[in-house]
Structure formats: structure tokens, C-alpha cells
Structure 1
Amino acid sequence: MLEIIPVLDLMNSIAVSGKSGDRDTYTPLSTIFANNNDPMTITNNLKMNGAKQIYIADLDLIEKRGHSLDTVKMVNTILPVILDSGIRNLKSFDFYLDYANKLIVATETLESIEELYKMFDKYPKERIIVSLDIKNNELLTNNLDMNLNDFKKEMINLNPNEIIFLDISRVGTKTGFNKELLNEFSYFKDKLILGGGITGEEISELNNYGIKKALVGSSLHKGEININY
């Protein structure tokens, strides 16, 4: 059965929403789980509705213009947090471990593949989730000199427990997941957490693909997908 993992993007310690990763256009989140955009209220209601964990992206940290870490730590007392804090290297991974249950190491911000190996050498796989960030069908990265196929080879070698397969082009668009790219990464299907544009109509299809977990933001907050569908 597919586990729906709610997505919460934070800016200035409030929940926000946007499309396609264009963070300059994000606005306060409107959600069926609260009558405001307070992350604590939303998380409490998500838990009451069956959520087992929550994905949080601290957009201020990712953009290097502040942080919402106090809020993240409080949310983590309600639901285990999977945190994307813009980790670049082992040093930053060390620091953020105190704030969340699991840390995301995303291709967008990772300094080098060597730093990723250092994390896996030092910490148990249970604390690390690699995020394979994709935009316009290409690997989204600020620093890695590699393409999707190169990164796939590194993932086979590292063998992480979980890999987020995030098509940022589709975030907030409800246009459906990227089936073509998913097929290219079918080797990892037991490890994949799929994200980006997932609609309610596709839930049964994801089950057929063998996907066990999915990140859902817009469709969940609008009431179009239930946590316990």
C-alpha cells in the first residue's frame, strides 16, 4: 500500500506554496488542514488524519537567506520530519541532524559526490535520504559535474535505503508524475519516494508501478488526495 507523505514548504516559519520550484513566487499556503498557515496547526491535523511522517523544505536555508529551524524542531515533536535544509557537505549534515528524523541530501545543493560518500561512511543509512532533483528532464545541480545516468551509477554503488525522485518542474502543477523518467529508474523502484505533480487519479497507477511512498503537496492540501486514500 502506498504511503502518502505530506509536503510542507516553509519560509519565515510559515507554510507556503508555489509551482515548479520558482521560490520567488511562493505565497502563504491555503490548506484544508488549518484555517491559517501555521506549521504546527497543520502538522497536528495531518497527524490526526493519519500522516506517519512529514517532508519539510526550509526554503530560506536552501536559498541561504535565513532559516525556520526552530519551527522544524517543534514539528518534529509531532511527526517525524524528513528535512531538506539545503545540505552541501558533511559539515552541514552534522549540524542539521539535531533538528529532524531524517535528512535529505539533494543533488541541487550537494557540493560534490565525495561529500555524499562521507555522509554514508559516517552515518547509518536510516538517517539519510538522497533526493534526485530533476528539472526539464535533466539532473538539477549547482555543483555536480554529472548527468542523470552518471548519478544513477553512483546510487547503485551507494545503495541508499531511500531515494526521493523529485521532478521540480511539476511541483504544484498537478500535471502527473514523469512516467518516462520513472521507467528509466525502475531499478530503484523499491527505494523510491516519488514527488512532483502527483494527482489523485494516479494513486492506483503508482501502486501498479511498485512505488511504496509518495510526496504530495498541492493535491493533499486542496483535499483532492486523502492521506488514507
Structure 2
Amino acid sequence: MTERFDLYPAIDLKAGQCVRLLRGEMDQATAFNPDPADQAAKFAAMGFDRLHVVDLDGAFAGDSANGEAVRAILAATDVPVQLGGGIRTRAQIDAWLDAGLSRVILGTAALRDPDFVKAAAGDLPGKIVVGIDAKDGYVAVEGWAETSDMKAVDLAKIFEGCGVAGLVVTDISRDGMKTGVNVEFTNAMAEAVSIPVIASGGVASVSDITALRNAGGKRAISGTILGRALYDGDIEPSAAIEAARA
């Protein structure tokens, strides 16, 4: 069991608002807060010490599309913030880190140009996270609009030993569905590499947090992202934090 298990409340941005999707479908968006900075401050006040932000429009456009909202989030809280969605170039990475982000998540770029990601990870220790979004075990890219012929576990192995700070591993079929996290898939990813693995997709209750925390074999899962279940009130913040620290 890992000494630390981190929780990352998710703030997904679409048209400047905080939303949640179902299985990554942009037309299945539910708006939860028109003010993402307010949502970030609320999560910090609940006791969460990290935030996971996704620029959904950027993921589809291939460029940052909700920059104003991200900067407002950074101004609203002192907790470390990691951002993914539409980040494809070194200039974008540097600009976001200079703006105050703790870590940058690279997804589509990780599949399309792994050497670029490796170089960035080597130059920026602890700052680059690879996002691996999987559908039936295969990597999905371009805002989950396309499924590649690359297995998720094979993509993870490419980044072994290059300085990548973590892997955010998402089972798209469960994302936003509150059907329970895919512990088996996430654990298999954690077993395959020495890079810390963060679970994403389908977390429905505090019991999912406990299951992930206790799943580790030779390598433990390092944390999980909390989405719709947290927004809907199915996960009580203090109980989640207690389970993560148990």
C-alpha cells in the first residue's frame, strides 16, 4: 500500500464553465458551475490539496481554448493544479508552467510524438504527466474522438524511465457514469510501469477510493480523480479524504 494516495477533484472546462461529461461525449455535458474559479476555491475549502483541470474545448481544438478560466482558477487557490487538454507544443507547456501550473498533462501528444513528451519530461522533472485514455484497452485521442491501434499498457511502457511524473489512466466507458472505477485495468497499468498511476473514470463512492488504495501489488496506484460523484454529493469530501489517508 502506498504511503500517500492523492485525490484530484476534476474541473472540466467547456465554454468557460465547469461541466461534467458522460463517456467523454461533448454533447452530453452537464454544467455544474458557471464560475470555475469559484469551484476551485470550494474544493480547496473542502480540504482537497490538488486539482485536476481539463480544457475540453482545447482537447478537440488542439489548442488552449479556456485559458481565461484556467488563469482564474490559478488565481483563486494556492493548491497545485495540473492541466490537460489541447497542449501540443513546448511553448504551450512553458507558458502554462510560467503561469503557475504545477504539472501539464499530455495526451494526444503522447501517442503522436512520444519523443517530444520524453524530451519535455527530461527537461522539466516532475512537471509532465501523460494522460492515457482507453477504450476497451486501446488508446483514444483527440478528445476521445478517435481510437488508435495502440494498447494503453504499451503506450505507458514507452515512457518508462524518461522522467514522466505520472500517468492519468482513464477508462472512457466509465467516465461520468458513476458505475465504479475499473480497478483491474488501473492496477494492471500500475503493475506494468514504475511511473505513478492515477485512476480516472467512474469513481462512484468512497469504497472505490478504498479499493484503489488497497489494490496495489508490487506497485500501488498513487491516486484518483474525482468527478461527477463528488459534484452530485455521492462522495462526501471529508470521508473521501479520510479514506485516502487511511
- Which TM-score band (shorter chain)? 0.7 to 0.9
Which residue of structure 2 lines up, in the alignment, with residue 135 of structure 1?
Answer: 135
Q: Which amino acid aligns with 1:112?
A: D
Supply the distance in 2 between the matched residues of 1:109 and 1:118 (Cα, whole angstroms). 11
C-alpha distance 108-226 of structure 1, shift in aligned 2 (>3 A) = farther
> Residue deviations 1:9-57, cap 9 Å, x none?
111211111100011221312xxxxxx4311221111111101111111
Contact kept in structure 2, 1:88 and 1:109, CA below 8 Å: no
Q: CA deviation at 1:7?
A: 0.4
Contact kept in structure 2, 1:109 and 1:141, CA below 8 Å: no
Supply the distance in 1 between the matched residues of 2:209 and 2:157 (Cα, whole angstroms). 29
Contact kept in structure 2, 1:19 and 1:173, CA below 8 Å: yes
Supply the distance in 1 between the matched residues of 2:152 and 2:111 (Cα, whole angstroms). 15
Q: Between Structure 1 and Structure 2, which shows a larger proportion of strand residues?
A: 2
- Over the residues paired in the alignment, what is the CA RMSD in angstroms? 2.4
Query: Partner of 2:24: helix, strand, or coil?
Result: coil
Q: 1:59 aligns with which of 56, 60, 74?
A: 56
Matched length = 222
Higher mean alpha-carbon deviation, 101-110 vs 193-202, is at 101-110
Contact kept in structure 2, 1:39 and 1:71, CA below 8 Å: yes
Q: How does 1:1-229 map to 2 (within 5 A)?
A: 2-29=5-32, 36-64=33-61, 67-77=65-75, 78=77, 79-99=79-99, 100-107=101-108, 110-124=111-125, 126-141=126-141, 146-187=150-191, 188=193, 191-200=196-205, 201-209=207-215, 210-229=220-239
Identical aligned pairs, as a percentage? Answer: 26
With normalisation by structure 2, the TM-score equals: 0.80
Higher mean alpha-carbon deviation, 94-103 vs 11-20, is at 94-103
With normalisation by structure 1, the TM-score equals: 0.86
